[in-house]
């Protein structure tokens, strides 16, 4: 999650935004060039593939002793 899902999801969420302020007015951020859209696509594909990795039979999605703040223990996951 920390290495694949979070950074790629953060990139996607941050790739488009609108911000309004008195000083700058409305500032909109979005991919514009072909290369910027390719970068968005790369992060999207990585996020999709992370979900596929979770579905691999027998793959542990959590290990005993992992973060105690989780809702379910690794054995249940």
Q: Tell me: the pLDDT tens digits for 15-62?
A: 999 999 999 999 999 999 999 999 999 999 999 999 888 888 887 666
Q: 65: pLDDT confidence band, cut at 50, 70 and 90?
A: low
Q: Find out whether 17 and 26 touch, Cβ atoms under 8 Å.
A: no
Look at residue 23 and tell me if it is in a domain.
yes
Look at residue 59 and tell me if it is in a domain.
no
Look at residue 60 and tell me if it is in a domain.
no
Q: Find out whether 43 and 36 touch, Cβ atoms under 8 Å.
A: no
Place of tokens 């996951």: 77
Look at residue 13 and tell me if it is in a domain.
yes
Tell me how many domains the chain contains.
Answer: 1
Residue span of the structural domain in which 45 resides: 5-54
Q: Find out whether 70 and 35 touch, Cβ atoms under 8 Å.
A: no
């Amino acid at each position: 999650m920390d290495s694949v899902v979070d950074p790629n999801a953060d990139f996607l969420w941050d790739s488009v935004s609108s911000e309004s302020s008195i000083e700058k007015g409305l500032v909109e951020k979005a991919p514009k060039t072909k290369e910027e859209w390719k970068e968005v696509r790369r992060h999207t594909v990585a996020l999709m593939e992370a979900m596929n990795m979770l579905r691999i039979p027998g793959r542990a999605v959590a290990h005993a002793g992992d973060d105690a703040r989780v809702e379910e223990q690794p054995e249940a996951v």
